[in-house]
Amino acid sequence: MERAAAPDCGAIGSLGFDSLGAPDEALVERLCEMAAALRAPERLQRTPAQVRGYFEACRARMRPNPFHNWNHAADVAQFAFLLLHRTGLDRCLCDEQVLGLFFGAVGHDMDHRGKSNAYEINEKTELALRHKGAAPLEAHHTELALAALAESELLDGLPAERAELTRSVVRDVIDATDMGQHTEILRECKAAFRALEELPRTFFSVSPFGGDEPARLLLKLLIKGADISNPSRPAAVAERWNERCYEEFYAEGDADRAKQRKLNPLHDRDENVIPRSSVGFIGFVVTPLFKELRKFLRAAAKMEGGEALDAAVAAEILQGLEANKQLHAERAAALAAVPASPPKAASDDAPSPLEDPCVEDEMAVVITLVAAEPVPEPKPEAGAETEAEAEPEQPEERAGEEPAVEAAAGDALGAPPDEAAPRPTEPSTNTQ
Ligand SMILES: [Zn+2]
């Protein structure tokens, strides 16, 4: 059958895959290719057209945001595919894990509105009110992804138990994209994978479900990695995603400013310095996650059933992250130079940009913003709030992921955090 030529967005197994600028339908086509490589139709007892139906249903519910759009959904799904396929995990994990992760990735941001959970909660949007007690965006995306699964009848060829298992993976992985859980998930992974030899021998050999938490954690690590993978792409691709991310952030900052809310510093177009916050994000958020994945893959390759695993792609990802971090660090250092001073001649003993204490300080700020977060309320009455009573900064979200939603411990002005606001978090201390 004649088919339109695929756009030049790169091979489906490549880190250079570039979904930006590709027509929506072309991305559906590429997702179908990935599904075929994962043997999704066979595993689900569905036709390729039925599998395509799920992608179409997801696409139909994406909004044209600068960042959280259909291109992002395809980008994250491709990275999840890459992590599954090039590591060999797609041949070790069970069908429900592989397919739940991949199809969950496609639907993980359905109907995203381009604003963070914090914004939704502060605005008391219909979404926030409907999903009180949860991260509203992730709850909404999950609901829609499950509806798309049902609408496309994607799981209808499976026995009820296996279909439910697949849905449970979809729920888990979409929930894990809430950045409010970032620190906790990474900590749990480190603990669970610390002694891989103690993991159940069935980890790879049979369905690892039925209480095997390490297997669930691995899936969360994979989806999270895919969701914040932009800075590991080649610089030309990573840059465009970064620009879009901040375009969306700054629009939220502008909206908060208009409502006289305190801005998350990363959303403040007047104050934020993108190269600096990018260095911090890559160094303190993304890199530790992929180091953990590399550690897991290397160790798991020695486990029964994991012999075919290959950690090479994790090393390639880490190289990409380092290259882009260095690029941002050099820019940050250039921006930090005082214009009135004559430029210093480069010398061997000059500190590298990454050793610049100013850049290090910024990193610490960024990681705190990404991982910790109270939800401020606008001042109800002028003069009623003292400096000491002021709420801390607002939660944050970053490149591809939703902000952490945190409950303020209680507002001195009688505006307690909504029950909608949520799980306690703590600032990340990742420094590896
Ligand atoms: Zn996302």
Q: 429 pLDDT exceeds 90? A: no
109 CA from centroid of ligand 1 (Å)? 5
- pLDDT confidence tier of residue 197, bands split at 50, 70 and 90: low
Comparing 3-17, 41-55, 309-323, the range with the smallest average pLDDT is 3-17
341 CA from centroid of ligand 1 (Å)? 42
- pLDDT confidence tier of residue 57, bands split at 50, 70 and 90: very high
Class of 24-324 in CATH: mainly alpha
401 CA from centroid of ligand 1 (Å)? 5
102 CA from centroid of ligand 1 (Å)? 13
72 CA from centroid of ligand 1 (Å)? 7
Q: What is the mean pLDDT of residues 291-316?
A: 89
129 CA from centroid of ligand 1 (Å)? 22
98 CA from centroid of ligand 1 (Å)? 18
- pLDDT confidence tier of residue 276, bands split at 50, 70 and 90: very high
Q: Where are the domains of the chain?
A: 24-324
229 CA from centroid of ligand 1 (Å)? 10
Widest distance between CA atoms in the chain: 72
215 CA from centroid of ligand 1 (Å)? 22
| Tens-place pLDDT, residues 207-236 | 555 455 788 899 999 999 999 999 999 999
146 CA from centroid of ligand 1 (Å)? 17
286 CA from centroid of ligand 1 (Å)? 14
Cα–Cα distance for residue pair 232/317, rounded to 1 Å: 5
**Bigger pLDDT: 320 vs 2:** 320
pLDDT of residue 133: 82
207 CA from centroid of ligand 1 (Å)? 27
pLDDT of residue 214: 80
pLDDT of residue 420: 32
93 CA from centroid of ligand 1 (Å)? 23
58 CA from centroid of ligand 1 (Å)? 13
411 CA from centroid of ligand 1 (Å)? 30
Q: Kindly state the percentage of the chain with pLDDT values over 70.
A: 72
85 CA from centroid of ligand 1 (Å)? 20
69 CA from centroid of ligand 1 (Å)? 9
Q: 77 pLDDT exceeds 70? A: yes
368 CA from centroid of ligand 1 (Å)? 20
pLDDT of residue 401: 40
The pLDDT mean for the chain works out to 80
Enumerate helices (H) and strands (E) in the chain, giving the number of each.
17, 0
- pLDDT confidence tier of residue 305, bands split at 50, 70 and 90: confident
Q: Kindly state the percentage of the chain with pLDDT values over 90.
A: 64
402 CA from centroid of ligand 1 (Å)? 7
106 CA from centroid of ligand 1 (Å)? 9
131 CA from centroid of ligand 1 (Å)? 19
Q: What is the mean pLDDT of residues 340-367?
A: 42
- Of the chain, the end-to-end C-alpha distance in Å amounts to 51
| Tens-place pLDDT, residues 134-191 | 899 999 999 999 999 999 999 999 999 999 999 999 999 999 999 999 999 999 999 8
Q: 111 pLDDT exceeds 90? A: yes
Closest CA to 142 of 117, 169, 180: 169
110 CA from centroid of ligand 1 (Å)? 9
**Bigger pLDDT: 342 vs 320:** 320
pLDDT of residue 370: 52
Q: 248 pLDDT exceeds 60? A: yes
- pLDDT confidence tier of residue 301, bands split at 50, 70 and 90: confident
Global pTM exceeds 0.85? no
107 CA from centroid of ligand 1 (Å)? 9
| Tens-place pLDDT, residues 254-275 | 999 999 999 999 999 999 999 9
Q: 387 pLDDT exceeds 60? A: no
Q: 67 pLDDT exceeds 70? A: yes
At 276, list the tokens: 């600096």
Closest CA to 196 of 288, 291, 296, 290: 296
**Bigger pLDDT: 85 vs 358:** 85
265 CA from centroid of ligand 1 (Å)? 21
Q: 395 pLDDT exceeds 80? A: no
73 CA from centroid of ligand 1 (Å)? 7
- pLDDT confidence tier of residue 8, bands split at 50, 70 and 90: low
At 57, list the tokens: 């249903």
Q: What is the mean pLDDT of residues 339-365?
A: 42
Q: What is the mean pLDDT of residues 1-25?
A: 77
Q: 196 pLDDT exceeds 90? A: no
**Mapping DSSP to helix (H, G, I), strand (E, B) and coil, where does residue 178 land?**
strand
Burial of 267 (0-12, 13-18, 19+ CB in 10 A): buried
Q: What angle do CA 32, 37, 43 make, to 5 degrees?
A: 90
pLDDT of residue 304: 76
Judge whether 105 and 76 are in contact, CB under 8 Å.
yes
Q: Tell me, letter by letter, the H, E, C secondary structure of the chain.
A: CCCCCCCCCCCCCCCCCCCCCCCHHHHHHHHHHHHHHCCHHHHHCCCHHHHHHHHHHHHHCCCCCCCCCHHHHHHHHHHHHHHHHHHCHHHHCCHHHHHHHHHHHHHCCCCCCCCCHHHHHHCCCHHHHHCCCCCHHHHHHHHHHHHHHHHHCCCCCCCHHHHHHHHHHHHHHHHHCEHHHHHHHHHHHHHHCCCHHHCCCCCCCCCCCCCCHHHHHHHHHHHHHHHCCHHHCCHHHHHHHHHHHHHHHHHHHHHHHHCCCCCCHHHCCCCCCHHHHHHHHHHHHHHHHHHHHHHHHHHHCCCCCCCCCCCHHHHHHHHHHHHHHHHHHHHHHHHHCCCCCCCCCCCCCCCCHHHCHHHHHHHHHHHHHHHCCCCCCCCCCCCCCCCCCCCCCCCCCCCCCECCCCCCCCCCCCCCCCCCCCCCCCCCCCCC
pLDDT of residue 329: 97
161 CA from centroid of ligand 1 (Å)? 28
Q: 393 pLDDT exceeds 50? A: no
